[in-house]
Amino acid sequence: MELLTSRKLPVTHGFGTRLGGISRAPYASLNVGLSVGDDPAAVHENLRRLAAQAGVAPGCLATVTQVHGHAVLEAGQTVDRSKVAAPLGEADAVWTGQSDHAVAVKTADCVPLLMVDPVGQRVAAVHAGWRGVYSAVAAHSIEALAKVGTSPGDLWVAVGPCIQVCCYEVSTELAAQFTGIFGGTVVTRVGAKEHLDLPAALLMTLLGAGIPLKQIDVLPHCTSCDRARFFSHRRDGATTGRQLSLVVADF
Q: Is position 184 within any domain?
A: no
Q: Say yes or no to pLDDT of 180 above 90.
A: yes
Q: What is the pLDDT of residue 128?
A: 98
Q: Is position 179 within any domain?
A: no
Q: How many domains does the chain have?
A: 1
As a whole number of angstroms, the distance between CA 105 and CA 182 comes to: 25
Give the residue, 1 or 156, on which the prediction is more confident.
Answer: 156
Q: Which amino acid is at 171?
A: S
Q: What H or E segment, with its residue span, contains residue 40? A: helix 40-54
Q: Is position 209 within any domain?
A: no
Question: Mapping DSSP to helix (H, G, I), strand (E, B) and coil, where does residue 42 land?
Answer: helix
Q: Is position 167 within any domain?
A: no
Q: What is the pLDDT of residue 161?
A: 98
With beta carbons less than 8 A apart as the criterion, state whether 248 and 125 touch.
Answer: no
Q: How far is CA 232 from the centre of its chain?
A: 14
Q: pLDDT tens across 185-234, in order?
A: 999 998 899 999 999 999 999 999 999 999 999 999 999 999 999 999 99
Maximum C-alpha span of the chain: 54
As a whole number of angstroms, the distance between CA 112 and CA 93 comes to: 10
Backbone Cα Rg of the chain: 17
Q: Is position 112 within any domain?
A: yes
Q: pLDDT tens across 140-163, in order?
A: 999 999 999 999 999 999 999 999
Q: What is the pLDDT of residue 91?
A: 98
Q: What is the pLDDT of residue 78?
A: 79
Q: pLDDT tens across 125-142, in order?
A: 999 999 999 999 999 999
- Helix, strand, coil percent content, the chain, rounded in steps of 5: 25, 25, 50
Q: What is the CATH number of the domain that holds 82?
A: 3.60.140.10
Q: Is position 202 within any domain?
A: no
Burial of 151 from C-beta contacts in 10 A (0-12 / 13-18 / 19+):
middle
Q: What is the pLDDT of residue 191?
A: 87
Q: What H or E segment, with its residue span, contains residue 49? A: helix 40-54
Q: What is the pLDDT of residue 112?
A: 98
Parallel/antiparallel/unpaired status of strands 111-117 and 156-159? antiparallel
Q: Which of 246, 157, 145, 154 is nearest to 206 (CA)?
A: 157
Q: Is position 10 within any domain?
A: yes
In Å, what is the CA distance from 218 to each residue of 44, 73, 79, 96, 193?
29, 24, 35, 22, 25
Q: Is position 51 within any domain?
A: yes
The angle at the Cα of 56, spanning 61 to 34, to the nearest 5 degrees, equals 35
Helices (H), 112-230: 130-134, 137-147, 172-182, 198-208
Domain hosting 152: range is 3-162+216-248
Q: pLDDT tens across 160-176, in order?
A: 999 999 999 999 999 99
With beta carbons less than 8 A apart as the criterion, state whether 135 and 128 touch.
Answer: no
Buried b vs exposed e over 17-50: b needs ≥16 C-beta within 10 Å?
bbeebbbeeebbbbbbbbebebeeebbebbbbbb
> What is the model's pTM?
0.96
Q: pLDDT tens across 67-121, in order?
A: 999 999 999 887 788 899 999 999 999 999 999 999 999 999 999 999 999 999 9
Parallel/antiparallel/unpaired status of strands 216-218 and 156-159? parallel
Q: pLDDT tens across 38-57, in order?
A: 999 999 999 999 999 999 99
